[in-house]
Structure 1
Amino acid sequence: MLQRTLKKAISATGVGLHSGERVKLTLNPAAPDTGIVFRRTDLPEPVSVKVHPSLVNDTRLSSTLVSETGVRIGTIEHLMSAFAGLGIDNLLIDVTAAEMPIMDGSAAPFIFLLQSAGIVDQAQPKRFIRVKQVVEVVEGDKWVRLAPHDGFSVELSIEFNHPAFNRAPQTVHIDFANRSYIDEISRARTFGFMHEVEYMRSHGLGRGGNLNNAIVIDDEYVLNPEGLRFPDEFVRHKILDAIGDLYIVGHPLIAAFSGHKSGHALNNKLLRVLLDTPEAWEFVSFSDEHDVPSSFHRLPDVV
């Protein structure tokens, strides 16, 4: 299986969920083994930041890269989730602000953008990280775990004592050997509570949020007129986030990911524990397509 990038550059504009700032995003093809690199073009001298778990240094309601010189690339998890869902390895991403555009609160607009640009194979093998031993992080009643698995699967549970959440299961298990990221996960939107809005905005967060880019919940109901896209959209969005957070490691994982009440901070800690445990993982590539785990056979075709 080969590495992937885009056929051509493509752009979109939007607002940051937390900053409220308008931002232009341009996705550019990149050479094999480049990885995912963000470039802040609004600075006097453009600064490039390559994704790596060690650079996720702000996890307040999102995953934000902070370079050694303090340059921020915020709320990258939905975009990273789309890259993972389409199997894209190499991109140079130009942004004109410190935060990614939130679009509709899901990964679906990014999927559309990437597919519109076209996805192409490159003349280098894709490098996977295969988990060989269980690694986990536990904090009170919250936990996340990576375990050996011949493919990629996710099982997550959330816990909210709230009528809007109690109307549907709060646990979802998806094995991507027989389920589609685009169909099952990409359209699930971020969510928040009305009572959190004042707190978030007093801390410089949530300034760009509205009913067009997030599910908003009051004391009992979902306030969005169109309702939910899935009965269990809340936990599906947590899976979307987790897939994006995990892809910050820079390679697709051959593993089973599971967790309870997980979030960006816990997901990042898990990646750091994995990388700090050399005996728990290895790089692998596949010269024969038949050897590739079936989870990755479902990646959308290139153009």
Structure 2
Amino acid sequence: MKQRTIAKSVEIIGVGLHKGIPVKMRLEPLEEDMGIIFYRSDEGVTIPLKIENVVDTKMATVLGKDGVVISTVEHILSAIYAYGIDNLRIVVDNDEIPVLDGSSSGYCMLIDEAGIKELNASKKAIKIKKEVEISTQEGKKVALKPSNHIIYDFSIDFEHPVIGQQKFLFDYSIDEYKENISKARTFGFLHEVQYLRSMGLAQGASMENAIVLDNSKILNPDGLRYDNEFVRHKILDAVGDMSLLGYTLVGEYNAHKGSHHLNHLLTKKLYESAENYEIIDLEEADEESKVFEIAYARA
């Protein structure tokens, strides 16, 4: 199996979630072994997708270098990672990725428009060999476990009548991602949005790009896209956050009440010991190669 990039450059203009101003984003193909790279065209700064370049995880996953940041990268990374793209440059002219409709489906359409190009170099993946877990006293947990498949198993528990307890298991393929994960939107509570706006944040947030809830109900006139859209979006975020590993994951991601912050701690902990993982060449690893061939087959 070979490394992947996109077949041609594509661009889009959208609104940033926090500043609420237009952001132009362009996706550009890269050659083999170059990885995923962000570029702030207004600052002339390149920020490679690396764990050490994560500078904030409170409200979103934020990358930074030399004092320059790019915020809310998890949705675009989720789509890129789901499509198995290894090499790509993401050019933006501000400090946020366009939020689009709050899901990753718009990024999937952009990648579909660009097309996929296979490169000459063999594709590599990271295979989990030993379970690694991050947990908190409040009962939150994220873990990576050995498996010959690619599984995301997530559960949430909110004290809200619309959300409550939800659980979803995503057995990875590009088609399954597009149909069951990519359309799930981010969500927030009205009192949180009002508080963030008082701090000059969430200026671009609206019911056009998020599910908004008050204390008892959903405020969006069109309701939900799935009954369990909330937990599906958590998986969308997790797929994006796992892209920080630098390789496509072979293993099981398992979470209960997970977050961007816990996902970041998990990726760091995995790399603390070489006993936890191995980097495999998908030209040589027959069993794992078949998993990806099936996952990519109809995309």
Please list every run of 5 or more consecutive structure 2 residues that lacks an aligned counterpart in the other structure: none
Q: Structure 1's 108 and 147: CA in aligned 2 closer, same or farther, altered over 3 A? A: same
1:60 is the counterpart of 2:58: yes
Aligned partner of 2:265 in structure 1 is 269
Aligned partner of 2:185 in structure 1 is 189
- In 1, Cα distance between the equivalents of 2:229 and 2:291? 22
1:281 is the counterpart of 2:277: yes
Range with bigger deviation, 227-236 or 170-179: 170-179
Aligned partner of 2:6 in structure 1 is 6
1:143-180 CA distance string (max 9 Å, x none): 100010001101111111111113xx511112226971
- In 1, Cα distance between the equivalents of 2:61 and 2:27? 19
Range with bigger deviation, 280-289 or 150-159: 280-289
- In 2, Cα distance between the equivalents of 1:248 and 1:83? 12
Aligned partner of 1:149 in structure 2 is 147
Matches within 5 A, 1:108-257: 108-140=105-137, 141-166=139-164, 170-176=166-172, 180-257=176-253
Three-state SS of the structure 2 residue aligned to 1:158 is: strand
| Kept in 2: contact 1:151–1:296 (CA 8 A) | no
TM-score (norm 2): 0.95
Three-state SS of the structure 2 residue aligned to 1:104 is: coil
| Kept in 2: contact 1:133–1:147 (CA 8 A) | yes
- In 2, Cα distance between the equivalents of 1:260 and 1:184? 19
- In 2, Cα distance between the equivalents of 1:150 and 1:243? 17
Q: Structure 1's 266 and 78: CA in aligned 2 closer, same or farther, altered over 3 A? A: same
Aligned partner of 1:31 in structure 2 is 31
Please list every run of 5 or more consecutive structure 1 residues that lacks an aligned counterpart in the other structure: none
| Kept in 1: contact 2:81–2:239 (CA 8 A) | yes
1:238-261 CA distance string (max 9 Å, x none): 000000000122110111000111
1:98 is the counterpart of 2:95: yes
Three-state SS of the structure 2 residue aligned to 1:180 is: helix
1:102-134 CA distance string (max 9 Å, x none): 000000000000110111111011110111001
Q: How many residues align?
A: 298
Runs of 4+ that moved beyond 6 A: none
Q: Give the Å deviation of 1:266.
A: 0.4
